[in-house]
Amino acid sequence: MEKAARGLLYTAKPLTEEEHRAVEEKFAAVTGREVSLTECQCEELLGGIRVELLGRVYDGSVQAQLRHVLAVLQDKEDRHA
């Protein structure tokens, strides 16, 4: 593997050690690097996680999912207007 990558892991609630390790392993597989994530509890997240790693943001938060649904609904409304 290439050089280790450090990043931030934002969560709505603390993860167990197993959950944290699973997230790091998933991103290690994606990036081909050893990954070390510092966990930060973020009360604004309703659920899910957001990861900042190697200059990218991977947003799996509930807010991101809701924004996507809203954008799809607005797009459909615009097409029917």
What pLDDT was estimated at residue 2? 66
Task: Determine the Cα angle at 76 with ends 75 and 78, to 5°.
Answer: 65
Q: Hey, where are the domains in the chain?
A: 2-80
Express each pLDDT in 23-79 by its tens digit.
Answer: 999 999 999 999 999 999 998 888 899 999 999 999 988 888 788 788 888 887 777
Give the 3-state DSSP-derived string for 3-28, with helices as H, strands as E and coil as C.
EEEEEEEEECCCCCHHHHHHHHHHHH
What pLDDT was estimated at residue 19? 96
Task: Determine the Cα angle at 47 with ends 69 and 59, to 5°.
Answer: 60
